[in-house]
Structure 1
Amino acid sequence: MHCRWYIIKKAEETLGPFFADRPELHKAFELCVDHSLTVEEFDRSWTATIETYQVQDNETLTSLWDKRMYWVPAYFMYCFFPFLQSTQRSEGFNAILKRYVRPGNSLLQFAKQYIALQQKILGSELQQEANTTLKQPKLLTYLPMERQMSKTYTNKIFNK
Structure 2
Amino acid sequence: MGGLAPMNIITDQDFSMRAGIEEVFPLAVHRHCRWHIIKKAEETLGPFFADRPDLHKAFELCVDHSLMVEEFERSWMAMIETYQVQDHETLASLWEKRMYWVPAYFMQCFFPFLHTTYRSEGFNAVLKRYVSPGNSLLQFAKQYTALQQKILGSELQQEANTALKQPKLLSIYQWRGR
User: TM-score, length-normalised on structure 2?
Assistant: 0.55
Q: CA deviation at 1:117?
A: 3.3
Whether the 8 Å CA contact 1:56–1:62 is kept in 2: the answer is: yes
Q: CA deviation at 1:88?
A: 4.1
Compare CA radii of gyration and give the structure with the larger one: 1
* Structure 2: gaps of 5 or more residues: 1-12, 14-31, 116-120, 166-178
Residues 30-71 of structure 1: per-residue CA shift (max 9 Å, x gap): 111111111111111110110000000000000000011111
Asked if 1:9 corresponds to 2:44, the answer is no
Whether the 8 Å CA contact 2:36–2:122 is kept in 1: the answer is: no
2:103 pairs with one of 73, 81, 84: 73
Corresponding position of 2:59 = 29
Asked if 1:145 corresponds to 2:175, the answer is no
Asked if 1:114 corresponds to 2:144, the answer is no
* CA distance in 2 between partners of 1:19 and 1:53 (Å): 11
Whether the 8 Å CA contact 2:35–2:122 is kept in 1: the answer is: no
* CA distance in 2 between partners of 1:49 and 1:119 (Å): 45
The structure in which a higher percent of residues are helix is: 1
1:48 pairs with one of 78, 81, 88: 78
* CA distance in 2 between partners of 1:10 and 1:144 (Å): 36
The structure in which a higher percent of residues are strand is: 2
RMSD over equivalenced CA pairs, Å: 3.5
Corresponding position of 2:93 = 63
Whether the 8 Å CA contact 1:8–1:71 is kept in 2: the answer is: no
Q: CA deviation at 1:78?
A: 1.6
Q: 1:68 to 1:115 in 2, by over 3 A?
A: closer
Residues 83-119 of structure 1: per-residue CA shift (max 9 Å, x gap): 247x844444456323xx2xxxxxxxxxxx5167359
User: TM-score, length-normalised on structure 1?
Assistant: 0.60
Query: Number of aligned pairs?
Result: 120
Q: 5 Å matches for 1:64-103?
A: 64-84=94-114, 88-94=122-128, 96-98=131-133, 101=134
* CA distance in 2 between partners of 1:144 and 1:14 (Å): 41
Identical-residue share of aligned pairs (%)? 62
* Structure 1: gaps of 5 or more residues: 102-112, 133-138, 148-160
Corresponding position of 1:151 = none
